[in-house]
Structure formats: structure tokens, C-alpha cells
Structure 1
């Protein structure tokens, strides 16, 4: 009876893009911002700035990339899979810079959050960063705050 009143639409989900370094980085940035279950405009803006700077994108293109990354983050593999893409395609020095960028997203809302910090540690470890470099990224972010 309810099927006639409220027929279910068959969903034709768009295929998600195959993750590459851009999408993996963006998805991890989104994952950090979502870790505290409070995705704020300041975090979105910081993600857009990081994507624009890192990949030499115009603001609108960075926002489009972030939107794709948000969809990918919701439906795609876990942190280790994204991190592996970055480990395969990005130098160690650049991965250290990514850790700094992720910390800037976590602190963009002006608050430290244990869930975000735990997510960051998982990502930094999966990126293959040393304990010393992980500690340095955290300290750099807190000093800049």
C-alpha cells in the first residue's frame, strides 16, 4: 500500500572517481575535519586553501575538488588505503608538509579535539612519518595557533 503512495526511486549512484594523490589528500583532510563530527566553515575554507595552494588551483576548482573529496571520503576506503596512495606518489618531505596542512585543518575551528588528534595520529602513522616528525608537526601547529 505505501509503495503506491511513496514509490522508491531506484538510485543510480554515480561511480566514484578512482583515488589519486589529489583525491586521497583531500579525502584525508575532510576526514580530519569530520573527526569531531562538527564540519565547520573555517575547516572547509582551510581545506580549499590547502588544495588550491598544493595543486595550483583556482578557488572554484579547489572547492569542486573538495566536494569530490567529501563524496569519496564518505564512500571510499579507509585511511590506510588513502595513505598508501600518498606514500606511493609523494616524497617523504612532502608527506611531512601534508601533516602540517592536516593540523591546520584540525585547528581551523580554533579548538583542539581529541577525536581529531587521534585521526591525525592514525593518518600520520599511515603516511609512514617518524615519531619525531609527527611530534614536530603537532608542535608546529600548536605554536602557530
Structure 2
């Protein structure tokens, strides 16, 4: 009985916390979705790459990843700015994790086989907002390009 009451309070507290703002998973997925929608073209290869990234990044099952992607895409469509996502990530991720997130953004941008100037601009803006140094922004881009050149 006591355990059931504790579980109830944990569920209630988690629900009220989520209502106050996005989770870290949602914030990450939302910023990655920003890269996908930067060129105004939703390519299935980019969506598949995002799904794979989220499955690797977070310890959640496939159904939860699909739901996370749906919610993230809706949040990004209706968000006025990136503040709620960026501030949560800056507060929660180390510098290395933020730089890795930028590398993931580059992977998404190249997932459809081409990099649009709009995607590059969006990643640059997000890197600035996340306080990722320009040198690490460029290093991440080159790393992804080298990986793609090696696999081609």
C-alpha cells in the first residue's frame, strides 16, 4: 500500500514537472528537428537519421522515440523562439555534450546527401546559442564530412 502511494506521488510530481517545461530529451529532439526543418523540406532520410540518433542517445524504446519525435516537431512548429530548449540544454549538458549535439546536427544536415545554406545557418545559430566555440563548430562539421567521405 505504501509503495502504491509513493508511486502515485512520483507520477504526479513527474507530470507537474513536465507541464512546467520541456524535458531534456524533448529539448534535444526539438533542436535537432530545427535542423531538419531549416531547409523547408522534410526528407525521410533525415527523419530516419533523427530516429536512430534518439534511439542511441536516450534509453527509451522505439514507441517512445516515435512519440518524442512527434511532440518535438509540434513544439518546434509552435515555438516562438528556442529559449526554453537552449536554456535547458545549457543548464544540463556539459560543454562536450553541447559540442556533440552540434556534431549530431551536422549529421542530420548531411543525412539527405546535401547541405543547404539554410541548414548550415541554423546550426551556426544554435551553436552560438549553446555557447559552442566556432572552432568546435567547424571541427564537428569537418568530422562529419570526413566520415561521409570515408563511407562513400
Normalising by structure 1, what TM-score?
Answer: 0.84
1:97 to 92, 95, 100: 100
Aligned to 2:44: 41
Displacement after TM superposition at 1:59 (Å): 2.0
Aligned to 1:143: 146
2:71 aligned with 1:85, yes or no?
no
2:24 aligned with 1:24, yes or no?
no
Name the CA distance, whole Å, in 2 between partners of 1:120 and 1:46: 16
RMSD: 1.5
2:127 to 121, 124, 144: 124
Contact in 1 for aligned 2:28/2:85 (Cα 8 Å): yes
Displacement after TM superposition at 1:142 (Å): 1.2
Contact in 2 for aligned 1:25/1:82 (Cα 8 Å): yes
Could you tell me which runs of 5 or more consecutive residues in structure 2 were left unpaired when the two chains were aligned.
Answer: 1-17
Aligned to 1:56: 59
Contact in 1 for aligned 2:33/2:76 (Cα 8 Å): yes
Contact in 2 for aligned 1:40/1:109 (Cα 8 Å): yes
Normalising by structure 2, what TM-score?
Answer: 0.80
Q: Secondary structure at the match of 1:57?
A: coil
Name the CA distance, whole Å, in 1 between partners of 2:126 and 2:83: 8
